[in-house]
Structure 1
Amino acid sequence: MGNITIRNVDDSLMQALEERASVAGRSLEEEARLILAETVQPAQADFWERMRQRRAGYGGRVFSDSGAISSEMRAERSGLGGES
């Protein structure tokens, strides 16, 4: 990963960036990275932001592995597992 230093940033711009980061629940550095990504690679940044929002919407719930459930159902139907 690379690093970047930006000098002589206007105080009002810094304040606006800090407020934007705070409202979004992100650090100043994370917010700046997101803005750069959205500007340089808009589709990719948008995708990851949508994924973060979607995960946040689940409220920390953990979901079962659908592959394992499907395997169990197939085994039950074929008489190889479960109650037959």
Structure 2
Amino acid sequence: MRPIDRIKKPLVLRPPKVMSATPCAVEVATLFNCWRALSVDSKQCADSAKSLMTCMAAQGKSTGSSRSVDQINFWLAKARRKKQL
């Protein structure tokens, strides 16, 4: 491959590799610790369970930003193979 051919390659957009904390991990750990200290059916662990449910409900409402990046990558790959857009 000639050096000029390497320069003419199309740009590819890839999502950034970011390590993020697991959502609701603190709430899950709190609930498990409460269950371990008391019992699974304890009424004192209701607050921990309630906070976990609210966190999980909030995580269900995510944005579609990663989907748009996937679509861009799909179209860039298709253009790279020189197929008709």
TM-score (norm 1): 0.31
Higher helix share: 1
- TM-score for both structures, normalised by structure 2: 0.30
